[in-house]
Amino acid sequence: MDGVPEPHTGWTFLTNHARVLAAIADNHSARIRDIAAHCRLTERAVQKIIADLEHDGYLSHTREGRSNAYRIDPGKVLRHPAEAGLTVASLMSLLVKDEVDRVTTSARTRPHAAT
């Protein structure tokens, strides 16, 4: 089926909720299709995650024409007791900055194709 991302096997350090939130932090007007592709999730999974995040107050959206503009509540505290006191802003500052650095570093260190 076209558009379904290749599944990932094994464990990862981040939850899909954190990945989706980081993708939105990087682009507040990202389409669900683009978030899904970036996070290697189905569009339906991203819709469910966004609904979860909105339901618990981590995220809200407004309609802008035919698309959505998302707003993250940076002061919202993370849910797990092990992260007691840490805010969404703390998590996003690590993930979004790291993502920018990763993409920039990857582009600089990628070998050029032979011509």
Amino acid residing at 13? F
Would you place residue 11 in the very low, low, confident or very high pLDDT band (cuts 50, 70, 90)?
confident
Total residue length of the chain: 115
Entry pTM: 0.76
Taking residue 52's Cβ as centre, other Cβ atoms within 10 Å add up to: 14
- pLDDT tens sequence across 64-113: 999 999 999 999 999 999 988 899 999 888 887 555 555 555 555 555 54
Of 70, 85, 62, nearest to 25 by C-alpha is 70
Q: What is the pLDDT of residue 100?
A: 54
* Concatenated DSSP letters of 24-89: HHH-TT--HHHHHHHHT--HHHHHHHHHHHHHTTSEEEEEETTEEEEEE-TTPBPSSGGGTT-BHH
Distance, in Å, from the CA atom of 24 to the CA atom of 26, rounded to the nearest integer, reads 5
Tell me how far apart the alpha carbons of residues 29 and 89 are, in angstroms, rounded to a whole number: 18
Amino acid letter at 110? Answer: R
**pLDDT tens string 19-36:** 999 999 999 999 999 999
